[in-house]
Amino acid sequence: MAMAFGIGRFLDWDFKRAKKALGFNPNEAISLEGFPIEKTRLRVFPYVVAVYLVSCVGFGWALQSRTHIAVSIILNFLIGGGLQITMGITSVLLVDLFPGAGGSITASFNLTRCLIGAGATSVIDPVISAMGEGWAFTLFSGIIVLLAPMPIILVKKGPSWRKARVDAAKAKLEKPYKSGNVNQ
């Protein structure tokens, strides 16, 4: 809970700092057109994911080597914090990209998160039985490493995707309706 509260405050502070660095008044609302919101929101993402991955691998090997329970508790805290922070960053970015759709974003985000959690829960025991705790958590961390380019791609291509989406929405609104056909 503290992580969720803290990441919200941090993201607000970081957004104001980015606005100021780009010449905007940090206390005024701005249009996101031409503003690098993807880069601004995701700039801390690699550091959080790195801490999460190291903690996840460490947790698996701490379980396998039967270290003191304090080690597992501390690593579990870091894993949970890392997940909370990445979910907070992702949620805020999605709400920034799709204003007015906060409820839909939250619902789809929660559904996706729960489906991934259910899938991971269903396979963790057989994977641990086959590989051991250390290698199982190393494997899951490796899968996340394979997905690591996704935020980088979003930072690079996101602004052009966002512009294309906004332009398409504007064109759809400007398209004249033909009489008698409401669905066009």
DSSP 8-class letter at 29: -
**Domain residue spans of the chain:** 45-168
Chain segment 133-183, per-residue pLDDT in tens: 999 999 999 999 999 889 999 999 988 888 888 888 888 877 766 555 555
Q: State what percent of residues in the chain have pLDDT above 90.
A: 37
pLDDT higher than 90, residue 71:
yes
93/79 Cα distance (integer angstroms): 21
Sign of CA dihedral 55, 57, 61, 66: positive
What DSSP assignment string belongs to 45-81?
Answer: HHHHHHHHHHHHHHHHHHHHTT--HHHHHHHHHHHHH
Q: Is the pLDDT of residue 119 over 60?
A: yes
Residue entry with tokens 């801490």: 51
pTM for the full predicted model:
0.79
Token look-up 């509260």 returns: 5
